[in-house]
Structure 1
């Protein structure tokens, strides 16, 4: 059975209490955006912005968001309940007097709701700089408990001088200290039938003092709503009750002030069943978008009445009755089919999701730029602050430095942990090996076809003898790769050889031909080698940064952490430059020319590749011999007659036996192609085999040497001489060491506050930046 869902009514008063639904009516489906057919991309966009909101970066960056606004009693809360599937408090005194953020996410796990209090101002209304989050009670697994928890959370928000936890136990509903608050409640709801959506429910705008507020409250609510809807990335969900004259609803006028062209606003008409008889036609121009035009149109929904709720209506029945209302009730039923999509809750929610996900998709690139710019400004602000002091000067600083260096050496040597440094580097090293492997020349032992299209040519399969060498040839050539390797046909090889001849005898070609092919290959190795160096540097920097924060973040006001971070980053930069220099030398050695002392290895590969290319060529020119060689199995049992005597040898077996009889026992079936009459392309085959064999030697060499060089100069190099470097550059063991350490441990309150604000902002921004990196932005 699914999680219970409470319904509310557009037509209820603000101080009514939602009657509980019988258990038998709380198991139906279809709430909000929990539609499994939603596209993967849309879910990905919504999930990403939810994670960005979790970092708190919305303080610094304008993030896409839905804000639900409306005048009091406009049916706003009923619509929210229909989307979220929870019941909101309706008791007087706490109803919608602070923002309520709903973060909904679909999950296969059982339904769960966690409630948090988000404080952005203190008890005096002054900004905290960094939001303070408090968990308000344990997670809720029974939906019936949500309304009471929210009511208590609102009381805690409206009484900022009291400890929040007391409101979890006390039932007294005293007069709140403040009537409205910019601090807000955050609901994180997940479950199998929960929406994939985030929005914030804002207090209803008060029309006048006579409608339940004072001048201060009216101004405060308007200011609070404005702080949300004035942001360019805020989608405004404007609720307008049809039972009240349109022009008298202040939410509409405030919306037009901040979105005059109606590009960010979605209008929602509620309570269509409460329209005075004869006035229905006056609302239709909105649905037709002929009046108060909005880019995303006006919608009309009908939520269950109080009587429906008392009778235990289910969500499915509510949607069915809503559909019947718009299908059978004039003038809604008489609207053209093109306008029917603007009626009913389900259509509104589908459109709302689409608009939000599209806005997120368009906004993400700019968010990334704004994040990077803000990160740079924040770092500059931190660097401009004076160096922090300390309470326990030399001894504590020395102890922290030694502990840090000891643990750094441990992670550099390797720790048995799936998130260890060396484990994190391994994928990049393997990717480098594949990148180098992909530069293997794609020789084709055939003439280039008359009509050759690069886009339609499949990679030439690697020979079988490479299959057992560390997985080579098994799938590497078929993996997706950024740069295609153009095939090199045999006639192009022979032409290059002919063009290179000087005073050589006929059929003799200079080694410069092989060198030219090898140079083209090795010339492609510099880029992936430097990429590996940068990736290792970045990964190492992340691990070291976390280690520095772990050891130094609690010392003083973070000044020592900041200085150590800068010095270590500078040290890592130097080691990275040394690694890049060494890698460049290794690549230069390869580019200088072909050289190897592994002659046996090279000769063995050349022989194999020559046979492979020769066989592939003869497969077309002499298919009979090629077929016989391909079908020959040296380990097959002998052919016997009926009496069990061995039959005379035939075919390939007979040829190999004869060759063995004259002392050529090492000849294999594949070698038989060498006995064929000379081919004018044999010199080209020889060049191809030379180059391909040398590639195997050089590729394995560079695939080992480059990671070894980076490991020596950068990974292990970071730990070398770091402690004396920190001592020297911090000045800890110098004549001014005591004074320096005292300065590191002490800090004025104003500077400490500024530093804390900047550090927290930097943390928010860095966390948000990593979230974008996780999705490939």
Structure 2
């Protein structure tokens, strides 16, 4: 037995430095951030909990109903050269600011632990007043229980290193006029909150004169300590057990024969509620010298053995949890620093606010330039598709160009076979009513189709007054020659085989009726791509949603104005093309027209052509491969063509030749002026709306409204910085 009792003392001495560190962590209030190794005394009401605490701490806890435990009490004892006691109240996390201020103002320092023990009942009454606890249970003023925590530190040369937390006793039934069902739940939740952590040793106080199977605390403890590895059963009131069978049952529990716990059971005899306070505690425990208690191991009975055992357990759990404790502290420091980074630098003054917002604008411009120039390797953000701005614009522009060249004219032109400037033979447009799934659309790349289909105007309600999405554009219709003939016959004047310039203007304007719808849709798609990028980039550089909303709302009107300028520019170019007299200085027009005329004449003479015969080297006649037409046949073809037929063909060829020039010119102009200049690279581009120059021109009030910290953010920053300081100090304590 002697060897057994020596080991705990040695362990206690070896762990004293660790326990000192835990106490220092509690002094730094680290326990509110990370769970610390601790002992928690729990039990049902009237289980002898208060008497046990008095035995362990020598503090005379009240044992009558009027002053029973109504709140958690943290008692820390540690060895110091001087004797003193410090008392304070830790407010509940959800307490009001007024209540917190009142509670935190309560502080007491008493010289000498003995004086404190004599004054303790009066101290408790004062504490109850601060916590607004009812001193008279029959009164309706105040609360019966409180979530505030009373903290008592006992320091002196004879104190052991021990920290014990006492919580109110569990009860099942409310008392009329005193406790309620909500009080039952409050106490139960308080107990659960303390026993749930793996660094807590649970001291389950169980009265010996009651069947422990009825004690709810063991059921609660098992919920959080399934294997009973950190639950120590403390059996109280053995003096009230008279039957031999009941005593034998208690001995079986202590010996681990029944209802075993890994930490086992301990038997103590505390001072009763009706016993004299001056009674020597050791006198009460002399009962353990008689049978059957004398057969039990000495380290499992009595308060002194329990105190050693608790010190040993606290030291063991502290040593075991030290590595995890350091890890938790480091993880929380890192989390706090990340939160501070998200808040950004402090911005109380105008200078701080301007510097802060200027830095965000600079990062935004860096992203914008990279996106505009397709330098996607500069930032990880470009892994997200909405950031690849130039790629989407190029895809949409290629798509617009392809569809515009093939579908933008109202009626399909009839082209005789000829060698075009691209060196390929062109055939007559095949008219069809099939929608876009054919021809060009079938040749679209997957990326072009993906870019187009990912844009939904309903996702951009703020752009509603600017953008539009047209219906599927059908292929050009048939019958252009008949339409030209009707146009000519309905507008001809006194001409001699010619036609007026107004006919060509009217024909071109009607042939380009679909241009506006297609142009609006194209520029709308580009605006949506730009706006989507702007919102994504802004979200990337802003620290939080609130700042994003403020900046976005501040520049939104300017963005909408710049988008509108781009759309207006595109429609201006459209008006110039459609509402002015057709004219071009481009040689491509005359070259194409001459080819068209030549091809038309060749087609008319095709039936009169014959193979050319030439003599070979040997003097024999053979075909040269060329075709020749008699001059008379040429004259005859010209004579046989009627005036209307000739004018119709001439209008068609001129219209077609000019349309090709105008179409290419228009597509290029829309891209270069409305897209490239107005939306991407020009000085009034939407990408330039949020810049450092914009920040510089903000007034002080505007800066405060956009970049100023809200009271919540300020309080959050102060709280995080304080937490980092406390956790960093805790890490320093654990290093040595």
Q: Higher Cα Rg: structure 1 or 2?
A: 2
- Name the TM-score, length of structure 2 as normaliser: 0.48
> Which structure shows the bigger proportion of residues in helix conformation?
2
